[in-house]
Structure 1
Amino acid sequence: MKILVIQQKMIGDVLTSSILFEVLRAKYPNAQLDYLVNSHTLPVIENNPYIDNFILFTKEEENSKLELLKFAKKLKPKKYDVLIDVYSKLSSNIITLFSGTKTKISYHKSYSTFIYTHNIKRLQKTDSKSSLAIANRLQLLKPLGIEVTSAKPKIYLNEAEITTSKQFLKDNHIDFDKPLYMISVLGSGTNKTYPFKFMAKVIDTIALKTKGQILFNYIPNQEAQAKVIYNLCQPETQKQIFFNVFGKNLREFLAITKYCDALIGNEGGAVNMAKALDIKTFSIFSPWISKDTWSLFEDDKTQVSVHLKDYKAELYMNKAEKDMKKEALELYEEFSPEFFEEKLIDFLKQTVQR
């Protein structure tokens, strides 16, 4: 049997959908399990022992209808028996349509039901602590006779990456006897990024309450933005920030984060990756992102998140979070760190217990 899973776009989505492979491998130990993802997301699923092949969707294919069609037609000769489209958008609809696969599974959408043999309606709520994002992905396996209610994403670092990362931190004067925090200072976009002035206050609280060492998660082309947040921090806080100690690529970031006591900051891919590494997290949700969907494995102790809706529910009367996307920047201004300062301090207390 040959099975293809499609999950395009963001790193967090690709990591989360990777849960399907461990479950599929348990059901079909001898099957060929392939994963179609955007090329830039490959590092987060490297070394996954349950995935046989990666099929990479490039920017050229994403930005050109002609290239997309060429890409889709190349899949048909692979003769997949089952296709699971987790992405469920126009590009994956087209890929599925040309795949020639007999069993095609995706989420129910009125305009694409004719493409798939099984159209699964998304759950609106779940009792599982794993979150709706996990529960709805596992729903896609039901047509295959697989009934699983929980699964956790995992990241697979090799020994060389772990050893190299530790030496890198030592060479940059990180003291492993003191708490070490990774700060997700920037979101994947402006409407997913906590205001810089508020993020600086959060970092000041971390520095004051823990006396720990602080790292910033950013990539080289984000250095100027990260520096703005650094400059907004108190002078005493700046002494605890190792601004130039950062991962220059995604695998380096993962290996460094493995040694952190917690990751704190903007909810998104970095938070999901930290959870997959079994690192404690405290995440600040964008006002328009659904906490019910993406609060993966939260227990209000080691995995904690905050959302404007938790403190100003009246702003969301008769509205879903996604309806607030256009108002995200204005809503962020309502989301003062004072709202969750006590919750953050309680979280920090457990991270300093070594």
Structure 2
Amino acid sequence: MKILVIRRDNIGDLVLTTPLFRALRQRFPEARIDAFVNSYNAPVLAGHPDVDQVHEYTKGKHRKGFSPGWLERLGQMWRLRKEHYDHVVIATPGVHPRQIRFARFLNPAHITAFVPPGWKMFGVDQPVEYLGKDRHHLLMTYRILLPFGIEGDPPAPRIAFTPPAHSPGEAPVIAIHVSARKPSSRWPEERYAELMRALHERHGARFRLFWAPGAENDARHPGDDGRAARILASAAGLPVEAVATNELEGLIAGIAACDAIVCSDGGAMHLAAAMGKPVVCFFGESEAHLWHPWDVPHRLLQPESHDVADVTVDEALAAFDALRQEANAA
């Protein structure tokens, strides 16, 4: 049996799809299980024990130079068609006619996809009713496996990584990720240095600083190079290592070397959770019931205003202290 799972969106979405690969492998241990993802999030599946091959494509906004992307894409589609997959699984929650058309072109024996309740969609012979945003995104995604007879509690998200090597009693290394796509989830930059100073005084903590790379005025790919530089300047005298991560592989390796993370809602949060790192996270105008860290100790800070500027340093410090006590008691 040959199965292709399609998941072409963001980092966190793909992390929360990894339980599908584990469940499929447990159900069909001899199957070939492949993934079709974009080049930006593909490193999430690097070395994944339940995925045989990762096929990736480059979105237009991530394409470099003047290469004819449509020609490359067409060639890739024909190569995938020649794989003669038995099953193509469109794992993205919601109704996605364009992805269904893509799956039909691949000409598999079966297509599994979400459809509106009561609907039939051409080519989808294994439909799963899309019930809306009624549960965590991981659980919404996991329902796509119902036609395979797979249900119940999902496995935890899983990515391949190398855990940190620490001596007993050594001070913790805390990842501090300071970027967020939504303005309401961007904690004021001056508070990061205050928090790090308090954590260092209280726990002897050391820090690794992460951010979205790029200039703040880059119209296509705005980053937080300036923000990170200002935070580093404010944290002078503290044991802070700046970790520039121009590729996702670097972010994964960088977080893997830490013991916990303080961050906003986003891909870095889900990566850390999939590695079992305790998480303190800031949520602004995000739906916490859909996107909270899954199956890992965490403290989620979301004020009534849904603007993380209203979260104080003392609240963040108290959240980390509570999380540390929980981890020590486990």
CA distance in 2, matches of 1:244, 1:61: 27
1:337-348 map, 5 Å = 337=313, 341-348=317-324
Where do 1:176-325 residues align within 5 Å?
A: 177-188=170-181, 190=183, 192-218=185-211, 221=214, 222-231=224-233, 233=234, 237-245=235-243, 249-285=247-283, 287-297=284-294, 302-308=297-303, 312=304
Pick from 103, 106, 120 the counterpart of residue 99 of structure 1: 106
Match of 1:149 among 150, 153, 156: 153
Residue 122 (structure 2) aligns with:
114
Aligned to 1:136: 140
| TM-score, normalised relative to structure 2 | 0.79
1:105 partner amino acid: T
- Report the Cα offset of residue 262 of structure 1: 0.8
What is the number of residues matched between the two proteins? 312
Q: Which amino acid aligns with 1:214?
A: F
Distance 1:226 1:28 in 2: 46
More helix by share: 1
Q: Distance between the aligned counterparts of 1:196 and 1:290, measured in 2?
A: 23
Aligned partner of 1:85 in structure 2 is 90
Deviation at 1:335, TM superposition (A): 4.6
CA distance in 2, matches of 1:27, 1:152: 16
Question: Which amino acid is the alignment partner of residue 130 of structure 2?
Answer: K
Residue aligned with 1:56, SS = strand
Output the CA distance in 2 between the equivalents of 1:90 and 1:337: 46
Stretches of structure 1 that go unaligned for 5 or more consecutive residues are 127-131, 316-327
Q: Is the 8 A contact 2:278 2:323 kept in 1?
A: no
Aligned amino acid, residue 53 of structure 1: Q
| Residues 65, 337 of structure 1: alpha-carbon distance in 2 compared, 3 angstrom cutoff | farther
Could you tell me whether the CA contact under 8 Å between 1:6 and 1:36 is conserved in 2?
yes
Moved more, 67-76 or 43-52: 67-76
SS in 1 for 2:270: helix
- Farther-moved stretch of structure 1 (332-341 vs 205-214): 332-341
Residue 66 of structure 2 is matched in structure 1 by none
Alpha-carbon offset, residue 291 of structure 1: 0.8
Q: Check the 8 A contact 2:269/2:293 in 1, yes or no.
A: no
The percentage of aligned residue pairs carrying the same residue is 20
Query: How many Å apart are 1:280 and its aligned residue?
Result: 1.2
- The reply to whether residue 33 of structure 1 matches residue 33 of structure 2 is yes
One-letter amino acid of the structure 2 residue matched with residue 147 of structure 1: E
Distance 1:16-1:57 versus aligned 2 partners, 3 A rule:
same
Q: Which residue of 2 aligns with 1:319?
A: none
- 94 and 338 in structure 1: CA distance in 2 versus 1, 3 angstrom threshold: farther
Supply the RMSD in Å over aligned alpha carbons. 3.5
One-letter code aligned to 1:121: Y
Cα distance in 2 for partners of 1:81, 1:190 equals: 44
- Cα contact 2:213–2:244 (8 A) shared by 1: no
Amino acid at match of 2:226: A
The residue number in structure 2 matching 1:321 is none
Distance 1:75 1:62 in 2: 22
Structure 2 unmatched runs, 5+: 64-68, 215-223
C-alpha contact (below 8 Å) 1:184/1:216 kept by paired residues: yes
**Which digits, 9 at most, give the CA deviation of each residue in 1:139-184, with x for residues without a partner?**
1100111123221111223xxx66xx86xxx9xxx99821211111
- Cα distance, 1:263 vs structure 2: 0.8
Distance 1:205 1:143 in 2: 51
Deviation at 1:271?
Answer: 1.5
The answer as to whether partners of 1:69 and 1:94 remain within 8 angstroms in 2 is no
How far, CA to CA, are the matches of 1:5 and 1:39 in structure 2?
Answer: 15
Q: Is 1:76–1:98's contact at 8 Å kept on the other side of the alignment?
A: yes
Equivalent residue letter for 2:81: K
Over residues 55-91 of structure 1, what are the superposed CA-to-partner deviations in whole Å (9 max), with x where a residue is unaligned? 1111349886676555444432222111111236465
3-state SS of 2:108 partner: coil
Check whether the contact 2:19–2:154 (CA below 8 A) recurs between aligned residues.
Answer: no
